[in-house]
A and B are shown apart, each in its own frame.
Chain A
Amino acid sequence: MTRYLARRLAFAIVLVVAVSSGSFILARLAPGDFVTLTTRGQVSPETMQRERARFGLNKSVAAHYRDWFAAAVRLDFGDSMLYDRPVRGMIVERAANTAILAVAALVLATAVGLPLGIVAGSRRGGVIPAAIRSASLLLLSMPPLLTSLLLVFIAARTGWFPIAGMRSATTPGGGATLDLLHHLVVPSLAIALPLAAMLERLQAQAMSEVIAEPFVLATLARGVPRSRVVWRDALKAALRPVAGVYGLIVGTVLSGSFAVEVITAWPGLGSLMLTALRARDVYLVAGCAAAGAVFLAFGTLVADLALAFVDPRTAASASPDEAAA
């Protein structure tokens, strides 16, 4: 177990270093730098040179990367060129917002998807499993880009929920937490709906496979009530394959949250990354990428540990990469 943990941690570190370094170098190599884009050539060459020197853009890419990396390992990601603020503070704030959204979506998707999957998978035929299955199929065909547009459409027409942002300008009655939850409904549902459909399908599949196993029949034959067999004995065995997917889902949630953050104006990591990339704000791009990678590595790590906990065979056999994939 300790070895497994060490290997997973090493993989996480490689992931964070590779992703942030890669995006720093890519952003540096991109045509048109921050100074050119913001001044649009309206100032004298001397001023441009001075500005470039201020941001370190006059250095060679290798030297710039070396300096940035040396600072970054001490968690100093430089100052954002665009906002003139330390990158660290900005990404921590934005990453927290994305985390709220992602965790809410994961909890919602799990709470809806797994029970429905158990119901759909434990019955052969009937109206309810068919209805669940059809709903899942429809939702599986709606990636977060479409669910968020649909939910914003519904919210805008009915006026039930706020369609953009994370907080109201003025704190309404009920306090800040309630206000946040109110704003969270549309974006978190937009990510959770397709995810719930996917979890439901997986759980239904796992459940129907377990139900067909002899031990279920044997337990039923001993006179244990059906509902208890399904919800206790079969469920225990059927949770494993689904638990294994959570490591992969973290990436899916992050990907999905990008479109949702942009459409619902949720101030998360994705929309900041977009702004940074467009402005060629090298430090902010690398900072966002690092935060995203930490997010991903942490999520994958937690998911893998949970899986190893549920199913000890994972830790004994899997190489780190196989477990991640």
Chain B
Amino acid sequence: MTRGVGIVLVALAVTAAVAAPLIAPHAADARFPGLLNAPPTVPHVVDDGGLWHAPFIYRWRLVSQLEQRYEEDRSQRVPLAWFSGGHLVAAPDAAAPLLVAGADSFGRDVFSRLMFGARTSLSLAAAAALGATLIGGIVGGLAGYAGGAADDVLMRGTDFVMVLPAMYVALALRAVLPLVLSAQQVFWLLAAIFAVLGAPFIARGVRSIVRTERRLEYAIAAEALGAPAMRLLLRHLLPATRGFVAVQITLLVPAFIVAEATLSYVGLGFPDTVASWGTMLHEASSNIRVFADFPWLLSPAAAMFLVVLGLNLVLQSDRSPERHALQRPPA
């Protein structure tokens, strides 16, 4: 049961990322200058007269420019347009946009940015996890296959990286590179840093599995039949680590999502123009009133929680989920 919930949560997040341009009512950088920090527009089906309509919203009327307070203008309904203009749902009137999760301090639609932000945050985490698997697989595979001095050196290296507080290493590595980079450069740079920091968690387990499998009869048989080392490793030994690697990736992805958010939060991640969950939180945190008056700006935190929870729930049905807590990379 819990696993099903987890799969649904993860699937939702992936759908949001993949289909962002379709689901999001607006572009990530579309601004509504009259609606700075406007609250969410709630879809209604019943108007004040008690009559039923297709889902509609009311437009926001600015009550106080200074305090950025808004009030629903109930005199006129704004019907929602479905499947028009390449969007799932939107309000056709540009002056009364559909703001499912409110607007940020630039008047941008938070919900749309959340969808496009899922793209950035999730694809970065996925790319980093892939990189960590590659590096960890190579290092762990070689160490486990070769044994001896090479094994010793490689494993000391991974131990050393694992002892360090990952967040600080990521911070230091990012900070010593040029502070201003394009979004593309930041993406690959962070993916590389995260991959290197995540790799030891994969390498350790891969190494011990490869070591054990190597001594099993099927591996000895393959070797006796003249399979070259490369073939033995790629075709026979590494596939045995599949299950372990899958679990590790499920643990690394949440850590990477949070690491991106933390770095962007302190201004060392993506530039502010890019929509990512981290830059959105960074933007929100610059406003002192966010906690009291504009809580919808914190929705990226909620999104992050749901994705991490989803991934954790997927792991739950394994025989002993507690075991993973031990191997959990520090987020």
User: Using a CB–CB distance below 8 Å, which chain A residues touch chain B?
Assistant: 15, 18-19, 23, 26-27, 29-32, 137-138, 140-146, 149-150, 152-153, 156-157, 163, 198, 201-202, 204-205, 245, 248, 251-252, 254-256, 258-259, 262-263, 270, 273-274, 277-278, 285, 289, 292, 296, 300, 321-322, 324-325
> Which residue of chain B lies nearest to A285 when distances are taken between CB atoms in the complex?
B172
Given A27-B176, A256-B330, A259-B262, A273:B309 Cβ within 8 A: no
Q: State in angstroms the CA–CA spacing of A204 and B325 once bound together.
A: 12
Chain B neighbourhood of A251, CB < 8 A: 163-166, 330
> Are B309 and A30 touching (Cβ within 8 A)?
no
Q: Which of B266, B291, B292, B309 contacts A262 (CB 8 A)?
A: B266
19 A-B contacts, Cβ less than 8 Å apart?
Answer: A18-B160, A19-B164, A27-B176, A31-B178, A32-B178, A32-B179, A140-B325, A141-B254, A143-B308, A145-B301, A153-B291, A201-B321, A202-B325, A255-B165, A255-B166, A255-B331, A258-B165, A274-B175, A325-B162
B215 CB–A CB distance under 8 Å = no
| Distance in Å: Cβ of B104 to nearest Cβ of chain A | 16
Chain B neighbourhood of A205, CB < 8 A: 320, 322-323
B313 CB–A CB distance under 8 Å = yes
Chain B neighbourhood of A141, CB < 8 A: 254, 305, 308-309, 312
Q: State in angstroms the CA–CA spacing of A252 and B168 once bound together.
A: 11
| Distance in Å: Cβ of A183 to nearest Cβ of chain B | 17
CB-based closest 6 A-B pairs = A205-B322, A277-B175, A156-B291, A141-B309, A30-B176, A255-B167
Chain B neighbourhood of A256, CB < 8 A: 167, 330-331
> Are B261 and A145 touching (Cβ within 8 A)?
yes
Q: State in angstroms the CA–CA spacing of A29 and B321 once bound together.
A: 43
A-B contact count (CB 8 A): 141
Q: Which of A18, A31, A149 contacts B281 (CB 8 A)?
A: A149
Q: State in angstroms the CA–CA spacing of A308 and B262 once bound together.
A: 36
Q: State in angstroms the CA–CA spacing of A90 and B328 once bound together.
A: 33
> Which residue of chain B lies nearest to A271 when distances are taken between CB atoms in the complex?
B266
> Are B261 and A325 touching (Cβ within 8 A)?
no
Chain B neighbourhood of A30, CB < 8 A: 175-177
| Distance in Å: Cβ of B260 to nearest Cβ of chain A | 10
> Which residue of chain A lies nearest to B308 when distances are taken between CB atoms in the complex?
A141
B16 CB–A CB distance under 8 Å = no
Q: State in angstroms the CA–CA spacing of A64 and B171 once bound together.
A: 23
| Distance in Å: Cβ of B211 to nearest Cβ of chain A | 14
Given A138-B309, A153-B291, A262-B265, A145:B163 Cβ within 8 A: no
> Which residue of chain B lies nearest to A247 when distances are taken between CB atoms in the complex?
B163
Chain A neighbourhood of B167, CB < 8 A: 254-256, 258-259
> Which residue of chain B lies nearest to A194 when distances are taken between CB atoms in the complex?
B331
User: Using a CB–CB distance below 8 Å, which chain B residues touch chain A?
Assistant: 155-156, 159-160, 162-168, 171-173, 175-179, 204, 254-255, 258, 261-262, 265-268, 281, 285, 291-292, 295, 298, 301, 304-305, 308-309, 312-313, 316, 320-323, 325-326, 328, 330-331
> Which residue of chain B lies nearest to A138 when distances are taken between CB atoms in the complex?
B309
> Are B291 and A31 touching (Cβ within 8 A)?
no
Chain B neighbourhood of A248, CB < 8 A: 326
| Distance in Å: Cβ of B153 to nearest Cβ of chain A | 12
> Are A26 and B322 touching (Cβ within 8 A)?
no
Chain A neighbourhood of B292, CB < 8 A: 156-157
Given A255-B331, A259-B262, A324:B159 Cβ within 8 A: yes
Interface of A is mostly: helix
Q: State in angstroms the CA–CA spacing of A149 and B284 once bound together.
A: 11
Q: State in angstroms the CA–CA spacing of A248 and B328 once bound together.
A: 10
> Are A325 and B204 touching (Cβ within 8 A)?
yes
Interface of B is mostly: helix
Chain B neighbourhood of A18, CB < 8 A: 160
> Which residue of chain A lies nearest to B309 when distances are taken between CB atoms in the complex?
A141
Q: Which of A29, A296, A300 contacts B176 (CB 8 A)?
A: A29
> Which residue of chain A lies nearest to B255 when distances are taken between CB atoms in the complex?
A143
> Are A137 and B309 touching (Cβ within 8 A)?
yes
Chain A neighbourhood of B312, CB < 8 A: 137, 140-141
| Distance in Å: Cβ of A158 to nearest Cβ of chain B | 11
Chain A neighbourhood of B160, CB < 8 A: 15, 18, 321
Given A32-B178, A141-B312, A259-B265, A296:B163 Cβ within 8 A: yes
Given A146-B304, A296-B164, A277:B176 Cβ within 8 A: yes
> Are A153 and B177 touching (Cβ within 8 A)?
no
Q: Which of A32, A143, A248, A273 has the most CB of B within 10 A?
A: A143
Given A201-B322, A202-B322, A254-B168, A145:B305 Cβ within 8 A: no
Chain B neighbourhood of A252, CB < 8 A: 165, 330
With A153-B298, A256-B331 already in contact, 16 other A-B pairs whose C-beta atoms are closer than 8 Å = A26-B173, A30-B175, A30-B176, A142-B305, A143-B308, A145-B258, A152-B291, A153-B291, A205-B323, A245-B326, A254-B165, A254-B167, A273-B168, A273-B171, A277-B176, A325-B163
Q: State in angstroms the CA–CA spacing of A157 and B328 once bound together.
A: 33
> Which residue of chain B lies nearest to A269 when distances are taken between CB atoms in the complex?
B168
Q: State in angstroms the CA–CA spacing of A153 and B164 once bound together.
A: 30
Q: State in angstroms the CA–CA spacing of A198 and B156 once bound together.
A: 26
Chain A neighbourhood of B308, CB < 8 A: 141-143
Q: Which of B168, B179, B321 has the most CB of A within 10 A?
A: B168
Q: State in angstroms the CA–CA spacing of A109 and B316 once bound together.
A: 22
Q: State in angstroms the CA–CA spacing of A259 and B258 once bound together.
A: 10
Chain A neighbourhood of B255, CB < 8 A: 143
Given A141-B254, A146-B301, A274-B266, A296:B331 Cβ within 8 A: no
| Distance in Å: Cβ of A191 to nearest Cβ of chain B | 11
| Distance in Å: Cβ of A263 to nearest Cβ of chain B | 7
Q: State in angstroms the CA–CA spacing of A251 and B160 once bound together.
A: 12
> Are B298 and A149 touching (Cβ within 8 A)?
yes
Chain A neighbourhood of B178, CB < 8 A: 31-32
